[in-house]
Amino acid sequence: MTRKELIELGKRIIKAEGTESELDKLYEIFNKNVPYPNGANLFYYPENYNARKDNLSQYNPTIESIVDKCLAYKAIQL
């Protein structure tokens, strides 16, 4: 998928319109098309999120920044 297509998909994920099954499919499509592991989670939770000490109300990234982060990810090679 192109960056533009991933941004459109991200918009659909953020809107959360549809059934749980439909949203699961959107997550699956997004995650299959970016190298970042479970990248769709970044729409709702920051990287390395810790519920005990992190404040989610301060997390407000743009869809574009999430897509760019997911596309730029490079796995560590051992």
Per-residue model confidence (pLDDT) at position 17: 84
> Do 20 and 6 form a contact (C-beta atoms < 8 A)?
no
Q: What is the dihedral of CA 41, 65, 2, 14, to 10 degrees?
A: 50
Is residue 48 one of the residues assigned to a domain?
Answer: yes
Write out the two tokens for 7.
């941004």
HSE, CB side, 13 Å, CA atoms: give it for residue 67. Answer: 18
Is residue 77 one of the residues assigned to a domain?
Answer: no
Summarised one tens digit per residue, pLDDT across range 9-61 is 999 999 998 899 999 999 999 999 999 999 999 999 999 898 898 889 889 99
Is residue 29 one of the residues assigned to a domain?
Answer: yes
Q: How many domains in the chain?
A: 1
The whole domain housing 27 covers 3-72
Is residue 78 one of the residues assigned to a domain?
Answer: no
**Does pTM surpass 0.85?**
yes
Is residue 43 one of the residues assigned to a domain?
Answer: yes
